[in-house]
Chains A and B, each alone.
Chain A
Amino acid sequence: MRSTTSHAAGSGAARFRQFLRNYGWAYAFIAVPVLLFLVFTLYPVGWAFVISFQKYGILKSTWVGFDNYTYMFKDDVFWKSMRNTVIFTIGTVPVNILISFGLAFLIFQLKQRAQTFFKAVLYLPTVASGVTLSIVWIAIFDPTPSGMLNRLLIQLGLDPVIWLGQKSTALFSLMLMSWLGSHGSGIILYLAAMGGIPKSLYEAADIDHASGWKKFSRITWPLLKPTTLYLLVTGVITSFQVFISVYLMTQGGPDFATTTIAYLIYQTAFNFNQFGLASAQAFVLAAVIVIVSVLQFKFFSTDIEY
């Protein structure tokens, strides 16, 4: 019996050594990022989930059950910020995708050197920090008649607008900033995807005397769907988390017109020191993003093959 056991143990050790020889390096390389993920992402997220059920104190926290969630769902400001976030997302993501696609489509018709030039030029804003861009936009949206955008309006015979200072235009101004902002990544992705479409498909369409629109609607657009879906999902996630422009340009005002959920989380945590409530808000935001992403995959990826 003993010999059988020791034999089994010996063969087990041998199998482990064999496993290490075959896969050890792979696991070693994976171990570092996995550990970093566990320590710097999973652990804080898990801890934040616990805090969402607490009245957080630095030295002592108190368990409050679902109180933070109950308070949040009864809070007008939370619903206003959720509404603003949804409006911002609906108003920016599809428009940004269309702009990126349109620009990429135009650039794709150009010669290689011109393509490279436009790719570089249009990617530059992506490299610039959001803070810098916001400062430039503050000057553009200067509410006085000497403001850049207002000067343009006056030249056109229109009245100056208090862009960021009135409820009717504040959120629109942030959306305008997004539309005219960074499309670099989207353009690069679309150009790469356009370059990957086999030319033979267009040649076949030419033989069939297909019109430009037919080629676009039957070849180009369907084959770009995976890229569009990727941009849609990442765009929605990013816009649900919009923060920098709100923080720097409007601080959620006027009268909560631009308070987004990410800004509300920041304000709850760092202005009011209610970390429990802020964690609850963050988890609801995460849940909304997951649900929206799943729905997007469910409805938009039905005819996509990877």
Chain B
Amino acid sequence: MRKSKWLVWSLVLALVFVTAACSKKDPAPSASGGTGTGGKDAPKTEQQGKPDTVKVWTYPVHAKYEDDLKDLIKDFNAKYPNIKVEYEMLSWAEGPKKFDVALNAGDPPDLYFHAVSGQYVSTGLALQLDQYLTPEIKGDYLPGTLDLAKIQGKQYGLPLYQFQWGWGGNKRILEEAGVDWKKIQQQGWTWSEFAEIAKKLTKKLPDGSMQYGLVTDGNGANNDFIQLVTRNSGLDDVVDKDGKFIWNDDRILDSLKFIDGLMKSGVMPKETAALAAQKRTDMFYAGQAAIISKAIPYYDVMIANRNKDIDAGKVKGEKIDYIQLPVPHNDKYPAKTTSGAEGYVAFKQKNDKGEEHAKNTFLVMEALSGAKAGNSANELCLPFVRQSQAKLFEGKGLAQPYNKAAAEAMAKSVAMPVDLTISADTSAKVKQYYEQVVKPGVQALFTGSKTPDQLADEFKSKGKQILGQ
């Protein structure tokens, strides 16, 4: 009998263990007041003595960002002791995947560092923020910057900085080839001007290795490269701001011919399709790349730090002076800077934690995006998004004055991301088009297995198939 009892208990315990491990947590109690206000309607969690916890998933936005974040959280907790902020620093390589899994499981963090995306909104879990934005907060943002975190007119994020993608040059190599880089920084350059200059930048080095005019990472991330080029050929994206497919005329063919010309003339290495991002950087550091694609103003600081490491004997190699350059544009179309905003995006969970928690999430979000948070834009040498940030960091810029001026010049011709205006469904189809048509297509162009004409036709027909136009 005793044995039977033990057996029954063992089975019951096993069942309890398994079911407990798999059971869903009860949603947190909600209340109408705000924890932060400390009002009468404080949430049950507070009444029970438990602080409300807001989860933040973020990235090492710049080298000192984690220190900044700790400071911001400390300041916030001094004001709101009942809201606990739990943050997790993700790696740039694996973080997006981790977040996608969490989001699709219905359990994203309350705040996630990223640009807003139509696909986030289509899940129904992105938290709309318009109701929480006070006139003071709205007024602090510089004109147009808040719009960069809206989807179809609704606010889902607060930008921390406005990023810019351009090209980056090696000052020594540019000057040796007689390139007037200051003029290019301020006035831009056309494709034909670039083609002429790039020929001078491409040569065999004394050690037998090649110095290329332009190097990009063709392995995996090449959608960035084609986007930079096509934006400078009058095509803001695959679709226009109304979701209409536009990669179907001579502008796309011109772009493909431009890239093909760079490959055939040897300005870009024939191994481009297999070059990873790190290899591109290594080639730049080794003086084998005069210009690299997808470069950001922050490279100025990053490369200056590398120069210090070389001086200190920690790193071997040639010191480089970094030059921020705009992407050259089609002779027939104006220059456009690829830009957007990154910052915090707010989410609720499938098991909604209630309005109180949403309010607390916004409080944390605002605290992580305020004046002091402007250090991110400062460190990254990017234009500020809030007046309070610009004021606090005035005269503290880290970039070389000429690169700062170049970033400011590039900010004048920004292409607004179409993702902000198109529907989530179109946004998902555009993503699929990039992954299944553009990415393999551009790789085929790099390897010479498809001609620009073949590829332009393919882009057109697949666009019709996937985007239905």
Q: Which residues of A contact B (CB under 8 A)?
A: 17, 20-21, 24-25, 27-28, 31-32, 35-36, 39, 57-60, 77, 138, 141-146, 162-167, 250-256, 267, 269-273, 275
Chain B neighbourhood of A145, CB < 8 A: 209
B270 CB within 8 Å of chain A: yes
Pair B444/A275 contact, Cβ less than 8 Å? no
Pair A166/B14 contact, Cβ less than 8 Å? no
Known A-B contacts A24-B3, A77-B436, A138-B276; the reply to A57 vs B124 at CB < 8 A is yes
B275 CB within 8 Å of chain A: yes
In the complex, A281 Cα to B91 Cα: how many Å? 30
Q: Mark B262-287, 1 if CB is under 8 A from A, else 0.
A: 00000001111111100100010000
Pick 28 A–B contacts, CB within 8 A, sort by A: A20-B7, A24-B4, A27-B11, A31-B10, A32-B18, A35-B18, A36-B18, A39-B22, A57-B124, A58-B103, A58-B104, A58-B350, A59-B123, A59-B124, A59-B350, A144-B269, A145-B209, A146-B209, A162-B271, A165-B447, A167-B447, A250-B219, A254-B444, A269-B104, A270-B100, A270-B104, A272-B432, A273-B428
Determine the residue in chain B with the shortest Cβ distance to A250.
B219
Q: What is the CB-to-nearest-CB distance from A291 to chain B, in angstroms, rounded to a whole number?
A: 27
A17, A77, A141, A146: the one contacting B4 at CB < 8 Å is A17
B104, B436, B440, B449: the one contacting A275 at CB < 8 Å is B104
In the complex, A163 Cα to B209 Cα: how many Å? 19
In the complex, A251 Cα to B435 Cα: how many Å? 10
Q: Which residues of B contact A (CB under 8 A)?
A: 1, 3-4, 7, 10-11, 14-15, 17-19, 21-22, 97, 100-101, 103-106, 119, 123-125, 209, 218-220, 269-276, 279, 283, 350, 428, 431-432, 435-436, 439-441, 443-444, 446-447, 449-450
Pair B11/A255 contact, Cβ less than 8 Å? no
Chain A neighbourhood of B350, CB < 8 A: 58-59
A57, A164, A271: the one contacting B219 at CB < 8 Å is A164
Determine the residue in chain A with the shortest Cβ distance to B278.
A138
Q: What is the CB-to-nearest-CB distance from A240 to chain B, in angstroms, rounded to a whole number?
A: 22
Determine the residue in chain B with the shortest Cβ distance to A142.
B279
* Most chain B Cβ neighbours within 10 Å, of A164, A250, A271: A271
Q: What is the CB-to-nearest-CB distance from B282 to chain A, in angstroms, rounded to a whole number?
A: 9
B3, B119, B271: the one contacting A143 at CB < 8 Å is B271
Chain B neighbourhood of A142, CB < 8 A: 279
Determine the residue in chain A with the shortest Cβ distance to B103.
A58
Pair B4/A254 contact, Cβ less than 8 Å? no
Pair A166/B273 contact, Cβ less than 8 Å? yes
Q: Which 7 A-B pairs rank lowest in CB-CB distance, beginning with the nearest?
A: A165-B274, A143-B271, A165-B273, A254-B443, A143-B274, A255-B440, A24-B7
In the complex, A127 Cα to B445 Cα: how many Å? 39
Q: What is the CB-to-nearest-CB distance from B162 to chain A, in angstroms, rounded to a whole number?
A: 26
Known A-B contacts A31-B11, A58-B123, A165-B273; the reply to A272 vs B428 at CB < 8 A is yes
Determine the residue in chain B with the shortest Cβ distance to A144.
B271
Chain B neighbourhood of A36, CB < 8 A: 18
Chain A neighbourhood of B105, CB < 8 A: 58
A32, A58, A143, A167: the one contacting B449 at CB < 8 Å is A167
Pair A253/B428 contact, Cβ less than 8 Å? no
Further contacts, 16 of them, CB under 8 A, given A20-B3, A253-B219, A272-B428 = A31-B11, A35-B18, A39-B18, A58-B105, A58-B106, A58-B123, A60-B124, A77-B436, A145-B209, A162-B273, A163-B274, A165-B271, A165-B446, A167-B444, A251-B219, A271-B435
A28, A251, A273: the one contacting B11 at CB < 8 Å is A28
A28, A250, A252: the one contacting B10 at CB < 8 Å is A28
Known A-B contacts A162-B447, A267-B435; the reply to A273 vs B3 at CB < 8 A is no
Known A-B contacts A35-B18, A166-B273; the reply to A253 vs B443 at CB < 8 A is yes
Chain B neighbourhood of A31, CB < 8 A: 10-11, 14
In the complex, A36 Cα to B14 Cα: how many Å? 9
In the complex, A57 Cα to B209 Cα: how many Å? 52
In the complex, A272 Cα to B119 Cα: how many Å? 9
In the complex, A24 Cα to B11 Cα: how many Å? 10
Determine the residue in chain B with the shortest Cβ distance to A164.
B274
Determine the residue in chain A with the shortest Cβ distance to B105.
A58
In the complex, A223 Cα to B124 Cα: how many Å? 60
Chain A neighbourhood of B97, CB < 8 A: 270
Pair A59/B15 contact, Cβ less than 8 Å? no
Chain B neighbourhood of A146, CB < 8 A: 209
Chain A neighbourhood of B436, CB < 8 A: 77
Chain A neighbourhood of B272, CB < 8 A: 165
Pair B125/A59 contact, Cβ less than 8 Å? yes
Chain B neighbourhood of A267, CB < 8 A: 435
Determine the residue in chain B with the shortest Cβ distance to A25.
B7
In the complex, A251 Cα to B276 Cα: how many Å? 11
Q: What is the CB-to-nearest-CB distance from A278 to chain B, in angstroms, rounded to a whole number?
A: 11
Chain A neighbourhood of B450, CB < 8 A: 255
Determine the residue in chain B with the shortest Cβ distance to A56.
B104
* Most chain B Cβ neighbours within 10 Å, of A32, A141, A163, A253: A253
In the complex, A275 Cα to B357 Cα: how many Å? 29
Determine the residue in chain A with the shortest Cβ distance to B275.
A143
B22, B273, B431: the one contacting A253 at CB < 8 Å is B273
Chain A neighbourhood of B428, CB < 8 A: 272-273
Known A-B contacts A138-B276, A273-B428; the reply to A253 vs B220 at CB < 8 A is yes
Chain A neighbourhood of B124, CB < 8 A: 57-60
Determine the residue in chain B with the shortest Cβ distance to A147.
B271
Known A-B contacts A28-B10, A254-B447; the reply to A270 vs B3 at CB < 8 A is no
Pair A251/B220 contact, Cβ less than 8 Å? yes
In the complex, A163 Cα to B274 Cα: how many Å? 8
Chain A neighbourhood of B440, CB < 8 A: 252-256
Pair A254/B3 contact, Cβ less than 8 Å? no
Pair B4/A272 contact, Cβ less than 8 Å? no
In the complex, A302 Cα to B21 Cα: how many Å? 45
Chain A neighbourhood of B444, CB < 8 A: 167, 254-255
Chain A neighbourhood of B15, CB < 8 A: 35
Determine the residue in chain A with the shortest Cβ distance to B436.
A77
Chain B neighbourhood of A165, CB < 8 A: 218-219, 271-275, 443, 446-447
Q: What is the CB-to-nearest-CB distance from B383 to chain A, in angstroms, rounded to a whole number?
A: 31
Chain B neighbourhood of A144, CB < 8 A: 269, 271, 279, 283
In the complex, A271 Cα to B436 Cα: how many Å? 11
B22, B104, B441: the one contacting A273 at CB < 8 Å is B104
Pair A253/B439 contact, Cβ less than 8 Å? yes
Pair B14/A32 contact, Cβ less than 8 Å? yes
In the complex, A57 Cα to B103 Cα: how many Å? 11
In the complex, A299 Cα to B65 Cα: how many Å? 61
